[in-house]
Every structure is written in structure tokens, then in C-alpha cells.
Amino acid sequence: MKILKLLAKKPRSFSELKRELGIESSGKLDFHLKKLRNLITVDEEGKYILTKEGYAALQTIHTIKKYGWQKRAYFINLAAYIVFNMVAAIANFTLWLIIVLPLSTAWIAYYTYKSFVKRKIFKAM
């Protein structure tokens, strides 16, 4: 991933990659570059660059990271809604029924709408 990020910024030579990544062993860097052979290539100056597939892979990684935290936040909100309502219902049923349930349900409905429709976090990628 670090190699892809560096190459997305600008083409780099083997020695530049080695230095910027802090890798001491040429063999280790060569191993990683070979693993990425479908995502990177060498240009006419001998510098490594990303292929179209490399840019696509990097974009996919960014998308997954972006939506990953939003999905976690949604599930945390849903769990908090359930626990909060259970505790409130046990503590004071009348207060829960009149105030807590309607307000918390309005919040989770809004948050669900925002997550599904606006952020599209559960859209197939």
C-alpha cells in the first residue's frame, strides 16, 4: 500500500523507493515490487509508475477505508439506540414511552436515512 501511495504522487526509481520506504534490503523491495507487477510498471526512464489497474486498486482501498468507518459508526449508533431504550424502559417506563422512545426513534430514523440514502454506505461496490 505504501508503494502504491508513493507512486501515485510521482514516478520513482528503485533507489528512491528503497530510501523513502526505509527498506535496507534490495531483495525485500524487489519481492514487494514483483508482488505488485500487475499494478505497477517501469517507464522509459526506468522509474516505477502505477498502471491503470494500480490507480484503480488504490482508489478501491480508499473507498473501502472511507465507508468502513461509516458502517462501524452506524452499527455503534444502532447498538446505542437499543441499549439506551432498554435501560430507559426499565428505569421509567412512562417517561421512556412518552419522551425517550419517540426522540431516539426519530434520531435513528434520521441517521439510517442519512447512512443509506445520502452516504450510500451499504451500496454494493
Say yes or no: 74 and 113 in one domain: yes
55 domain residue, yes or no: no
Q: Is 123 part of a structural domain of the chain?
A: no
Same domain, 39 and 75: no
Over range 97-109, report the average pLDDT.
97
User: 95: domain range?
Assistant: 67-118
- Name the pLDDT band for 61 (thresholds 50, 70, 90): confident
DSSP state of 13: -
pLDDT digits (tens, 9 = 90+) for 41-50: 999 999 999 9
Coil vs helix vs strand at 55: helix
What is the distance between the alpha carbons of residues 4 and 49, in angstroms, rounded to a whole number?
Answer: 9
Section 109-117 average pLDDT: 93
Measure the CA–CA gap between 34 and 23, rounded to whole angstroms. Answer: 15
pTM: 0.59
* 38 inside domain: yes
Count: domains in the chain: 2
Q: Is residue 16 part of a domain?
A: yes
Q: How far is CA 104 from CA 7, 58, 100, in A?
A: 47, 38, 6
Q: Looking at the predicted structure, is the pLDDT value of residue 125 above 60?
A: no
> Is residue 77 a part of any domain in this protein?
yes
Mark whether 80 and 42 lie in a shared domain.
no
**Closest alpha carbon to 115 in 78, 84, 61:** 78
Kindly state whether residue 22 falls inside one of the protein's structural domains: yes
